[in-house]
Structure 1
Amino acid sequence: MLSTEDLALLEAIRETGSLSRAAVRLGKAPSTVSYAARQLEERFDALLFDRRRYRLQLTAAGELLVNEASRLMEDVSRLTQRVQQVANGWESRLWIVTDELVEFENLVPLIQEFDALGSGVPLRMTHEVLKGVWEALREGRADLVIGATNEPPAIPSLRWMQLGEMQWVFAVSPKHPLAKAREPISRATVSQHRAIVVADSARTSEGRTYGVSGGQPVMAVPTMRAKILAQCAGLGVGWLPRHRVDSLLKNGTLIEKQMADPREPNVLYAGWRGDQDGRALNWWLEKLKQPSLAGRLVQGIDLFV
C-alpha cells in the first residue's frame, strides 16, 4: 500500500516532469526524492518512470499506480469518516421510502435541513405504492416509510405514528357519461365504467385497489398524477385526493359527483423498526411529529394550479 508521501511524490513528478522540481515542490532534497523514486520501483518491481526524455514522465505502470492509489486512498478516507460517523451514533445510510402519493417537493426543504447537520449520512429516497410501502419496511428495503396507507401490518418491532387523514373526492371528466348521472350514484352504476387505479407495488403479496367493484373493468397506471390525468381525459373514473385536485374541480376540468357509498378518509402513517436506533432516523421522526409538516405531507400539492 502506498503512503500519502509516496502518492505525493508520484503526483509531484507527474506534474513537474523533473525530480529537482518535484523536490522543490515537496520541500525535500533532490537526492532524497531520487532515492524515494528508486525505492518505489524496487518495491513494485516495475519501471514507473520514463527517464529517456528530457521531461521525466510516468510509464503506463506508473500512471496506473498513481490513479489506483488515489482512488484507494479516497476510499479509505471515506471509510474512516463512515466508521467515525457510526461510532458517533449516526447511521451508515438512511433509506427512506415514501408512498408515491407523497410529493418529493414537500421533502426537499427537509432534506436541505438534514444536509445542514453535516452528519455525513447518505440518504436513499425511493417510493412504493399502497401495500408496497409497508412491504419495503418488512423486507428490509426501508429504514423509514412515510405516507403509508392501510392499518400497520404485523412486522416485528414495528413502530408507527399517524400523520393525518387524507380526504377523497369522486370526480369525473365532463366528457364522461357519469358526469350527467343522477346523484347519489350507486356502486352498481359505477361498476359499469372503467376504474382508474394506481398499481400497487407489492412484490410478495397480492396488491390492493380501492373503490373497485367485482367485475368492474380496470386500468392500472403508475402514479397518482397519471390517474388524475387519465380521469381528466375521460378514460375512466375513481376516487382522487381532494386537496391535490382542488384547482381542477374549481375550473371544471373535473366534476365532483356525490356517491351513495362515500369513501372514508385514509389515515397516512410513518413507520419504522423499533430495533433500529440512530441519530438520523430520530431526527427525521422528530420532524415528522410536527403538525405543520405532517399536514403538508398528507394534504399534498395541487400540481395542476
Structure 2
Amino acid sequence: MLSTEDLALLEAIRETGSLSRAAVRLGKAPSTVSYAARQLEERFDALLFDRRRYRLQLTAAGELLVNEASRLMEDVSRLTQRVQQVANGWESRLWIVTDELVEFENLVPLIQEFDALGSGVPLRMTHEVLKGVWEALREGRADLVIGATNEPPAIPSLRWMQLGEMEWVFAVSPKHPLAKAKEPISRATVTQHRAIVVADSARTSEGRTYGVSSGQSVMAVSTMRAKILAQCAGLGVGWLPRHRVDSLLKNGTLVEKQMADPREPNVLYAGWRGDQDGRALNWWLEKLKQPSLANRLVQGIDLFV
C-alpha cells in the first residue's frame, strides 16, 4: 500500500517531469526525492519511471500504480468519513420510497434542507404504487415510506403517522361517451367503458386497483401522469387526484362527472420501522410531523398548469 507521501511523490513527478522540480514542489532535497523514487521501484520490483528522455515520465506500470493508488486512497477516505458518520449517529444511507401520488417536485425543497445539514448521508429516492409501497418497507427496500395509501399492514416494528387526505374526482375527456352521460352515473354504466389505472407495483402479493368493476376492460399504466394523459385523450375513464387535474377541469380538457358511488378520500401515511434509528430518519420524521409540509405533500401541485 502506498503512503500519502509516496502518492504525492508520484503525482509531483508526473506533473513536473523532473526529479528536481518535483523536489521543489515537495519542499525536499533532490537527492531525497531520487532515493524515494528508487525505493518505490525496489518495493514493487518494477520500472516505474522512464528516465530515457529529457522529461521524466511514468511508465505504464507507474501510471497504473498512481491511478489505482489514488482511487484506493479516495475509497479509504470515503470509508473513514462514513465510519465517523455512523459513529456520530448518522446512517450510512437513507432509502426513501414515495407513493407515485407524491410528486418529486414537492420533495425538492426538503432534500435541499437535508443537504444543508452536511450529514454526508446519501439519499436514495424511489417510488412504488399502492401495495408496493408498504411491501418495500416490509422487505427492506425502504427505510421510510411517504404517501402510502390503505391501512398500514402487519409489519414487524411498524410505526406510522397520517399525513392527510387526498380527494378524488371522476373525470373524462369531453370526447368520451361518458362526458354526456346522465348524472349521477351508475357503476353499471361505467363498467361498459375501459378504465385507466396505475399498475400496483407489489412484487410478492396480488396488486390492488381502485374504482374498477368485475369484468371491466382495463388499461394499466406506470404513472399517474400517464393515466391523466390517457384520460385526456379519451382512452378510458377513472378517478384522478383533484389537485393534479384542477387546471384541466377548469380549461375543459377534462370533465368532472357526478357518480352514484362517490369515492371516499384516501388517507396517506408515512411509515418506518421502529427498530431502526438514526439522525437522518429522525430529521425527516420531524419534518413530516409539520402540518404545513404534510399538507403540501398530500395536496401536491398541478403539473398541468
Q: TM-score range by the shorter chain?
A: over 0.9
- Cα deviation, 1:28-80, whole Å, max 9, x if unaligned, reads 11111111001000100000001111111100000000000000000000000
Rounded Cα–Cα distance in structure 2 between residues aligned with 1:116 and 1:252: 42
Give the match's secondary structure for 2:205: coil
Q: How much is the aligned-residue C-alpha RMSD, in angstroms?
A: 0.6
Rounded Cα–Cα distance in structure 2 between residues aligned with 1:24 and 1:13: 11
Aligned residue-pair number = 305
Give the match's secondary structure for 1:98: strand
- Cα deviation, 1:211-233, whole Å, max 9, x if unaligned, reads 00000000001110111111111
Rounded Cα–Cα distance in structure 2 between residues aligned with 1:91 and 1:132: 24
TM-superposed deviation, 1:299: 0.8
Give the match's secondary structure for 2:215: coil
Determine if the alignment matches structure 1 residue 49 to structure 2 residue 45.
Answer: no
Give the match's secondary structure for 1:170: strand
Rounded Cα–Cα distance in structure 2 between residues aligned with 1:179 and 1:52: 85
Rounded Cα–Cα distance in structure 2 between residues aligned with 1:255 and 1:113: 39
TM-superposed deviation, 1:301: 1.1
Q: TM (normalized to structure 1)?
A: 0.99
Give the match's secondary structure for 2:150: coil
Structure 1 residue ranges, 4+ long, deviating more than 6 angstroms after superposition: none
Rounded Cα–Cα distance in structure 2 between residues aligned with 1:21 and 1:182: 89
Rounded Cα–Cα distance in structure 1 between residues aligned with 2:174 and 2:21: 79
Give the match's secondary structure for 1:262: coil
* Matching residue of 1:234: 234
Rounded Cα–Cα distance in structure 2 between residues aligned with 1:13 and 1:256: 73
Give the match's secondary structure for 1:179: helix
- Cα deviation, 1:148-200, whole Å, max 9, x if unaligned, reads 00110111100000000000011111111111111111101100100000011
Rounded Cα–Cα distance in structure 1 between residues aligned with 2:82 and 2:288: 26
TM-superposed deviation, 1:101: 1.2
Rounded Cα–Cα distance in structure 2 between residues aligned with 1:125 and 1:243: 23
Rounded Cα–Cα distance in structure 1 between residues aligned with 2:127 and 2:141: 11
Rounded Cα–Cα distance in structure 2 between residues aligned with 1:287 and 1:86: 21
Gap runs ≥5 in structure 2: none
Rounded Cα–Cα distance in structure 2 between residues aligned with 1:56 and 1:240: 69
TM-superposed deviation, 1:92: 0.2
Give the match's secondary structure for 2:12: helix
TM-superposed deviation, 1:252: 1.0
| Worse-superposed segment, 277-286 or 292-301 | 292-301
Rounded Cα–Cα distance in structure 2 between residues aligned with 1:58 and 1:252: 70
* Matching residue of 2:146: 146
Fraction of identical pairs, as percent: 97
* Matching residue of 2:248: 248
Q: TM (normalized to structure 2)?
A: 0.99
Rounded Cα–Cα distance in structure 2 between residues aligned with 1:108 and 1:155: 29
TM-superposed deviation, 1:243: 1.2
| Worse-superposed segment, 251-260 or 60-69 | 251-260
Give the match's secondary structure for 2:269: strand
- Cα deviation, 1:120-162, whole Å, max 9, x if unaligned, reads 0000000111111111101100000000001101111000000
Rounded Cα–Cα distance in structure 2 between residues aligned with 1:251 and 1:50: 73
TM-superposed deviation, 1:23: 0.7
- Cα deviation, 1:226-253, whole Å, max 9, x if unaligned, reads 1111111111000010111111111111
Rounded Cα–Cα distance in structure 2 between residues aligned with 1:18 and 1:303: 60
Aligned pairs (5 A) from 1:268-287: 268-287=268-287
* Matching residue of 1:21: 21
Rounded Cα–Cα distance in structure 1 between residues aligned with 2:11 and 2:248: 62
Rounded Cα–Cα distance in structure 1 between residues aligned with 2:180 and 2:20: 90
Give the match's secondary structure for 1:245: helix
Rounded Cα–Cα distance in structure 1 between residues aligned with 2:247 and 2:2: 63
Give the match's secondary structure for 2:118: coil
TM-superposed deviation, 1:106: 0.4
Rounded Cα–Cα distance in structure 2 between residues aligned with 1:69 and 1:262: 65
TM-superposed deviation, 1:300: 1.2
* Matching residue of 2:213: 213
